[in-house]
Amino acid sequence: MTRRSALMIIPVDASEERADFADTFARADAAAPALSVGELSTQRGDGVFESIGVVDGHAQEVMPHLERLVHSARLCDLPEPNIAQWKQAIEIAAGDCGAGEAVIKLILSRGVEHGPTPTAWVTVAPAADFSAARVDGIRVVTLDRGYDLHVAERAPWLLLGAKTLSYAVNMAALREAHRRGADDAIFLSSDGFVLEAPTASLILRVGDRFVTPAPNGGILHGTTQLSVYEHLAERGFDVGYAEIPASDLGKADAAWLVSSVRLAAPVSRIDDHELPVDAALTADLNAYLLSPRD
């Protein structure tokens, strides 16, 4: 059984090479205070993170998550993470995960105001039970994200392609979805294109072709979406990216929200439009996503 744990990290330069980073790690009580009151991750959400699914002690797709952490850090002008150091920290964290599903979170913060180094840590916790969502499906509503599809190209300081700790908008969207009687939301651009969910990527099936919104417009390129596409391509399906008008959502033969911990959740309703749930394909996708993947 997975127990909650935490590991504080003293970040080293990305170019530093060595066999062991153990002296840069310190165990912390996951239930006890560990951050300074001046910590900018809590004051401003000034940092980046990743959530890694763990199955029976195996951390899934570690390198894609680390590569995205590096990408997010660059966008936020944070010191580049040392991949070898973080990989070792993940290995230690995975050792705290028992049978079943768990989640490892990687957090890199700017630290304290005018501090000498960023703050970094890793946490381990049991994953929530998403079995019902994976089988029965989820209801979603569409919500206006408030910007047009190409705003990220004009305003990179909005950090729309980074996985930042500033998740207040994402959580507000989920609360709004719940108020509307739904389980989740799909963001739309102000000019009427499909983006992503607050904590997941969207995949649509139209006939035998699978499509997901093109990773522009500030869409976070999902590690699970990439993995699902690899699996579908190996099965001979046509997969691709496109700018998807919101009006096309109702034309899909099936849809899924995919993420590292919930995995593949079929969408059973978008706003007032019912969608069929492809139970067999969903089961196949989740069996694949629960299998060990590096």
Task: Find the CATH number of the domain harbouring 213.
Answer: 3.20.10.10
The verdict on 157 and 276 lying in the same domain is yes
With a pLDDT cut of 90, the percent of the chain lying above it is 90
Q: What is the CATH number of the domain that holds 90?
A: 3.30.470.10
> Tokens standing for 243?
């700018």
- 37 Cβ partners below 8 Å, 6+ apart? none
pLDDT in tens, 119-138: 999 999 999 999 999 999 99
pLDDT digits (tens, 9 = 90+) for 144-182: 999 999 999 999 999 998 999 999 999 999 999 999 999
Number of domains within the chain:
2
Final residue in a domain of this structure, among 91, 126, 161: 126
* Whether residue 93 is found in the same domain as residue 154: no
Same structural domain for residues 45 and 156?
A: no
Higher pLDDT, 216 or 76: 76
28 lies in the same domain as 77: yes
Among 97, 126, 155, which residue terminates a domain? 126
Q: Are residues 234 and 167 in the same domain?
A: yes
Q: Strand, coil or helix: what is 89?
A: helix
Does 31 lie in the same domain as 91? yes
**pTM summary value:** 0.95
Q: Where are the beta strands (DSSP E) in the chain?
A: 5-9, 25-28, 47-55, 58-59, 101-109, 119-126, 138-144, 184-188, 201-206, 209-213, 238-242, 254-259, 263-270, 273-274
> Is the predicted pLDDT of residue 218 greater than 70, yes or no?
yes
pLDDT in tens, 42-86: 999 999 999 999 999 999 999 999 999 999 999 999 999 999 999
Query: Residue holding tokens 């995995």?
Result: 263
Indicate whether 135 and 279 sit together in one domain.
yes
> In the prediction, which pLDDT does 10 show?
96
pLDDT digits (tens, 9 = 90+) for 229-265: 999 999 999 999 999 999 999 999 999 999 999 999 9
Both 49 and 156 in a single domain?
Answer: no
Q: Are residues 120 and 135 in the same domain?
A: no
Q: Which residue segment(s) compose the domain that 136 sits in? A: 131-290
d(CA 112, CA 41): 8
pLDDT range class, residue 271, cuts 50, 70, 90: very high
Distance CA 89, CA 123 (A): 10
Same domain (yes/no): 9, 99: yes
Q: Which residues pair with 49 in a beta bridge?
A: 107
- Of 111, 126, 141, the last residue of a domain is 126
The per-residue pLDDT for 217 is 63
Pair (85, 153) in one structural domain: no
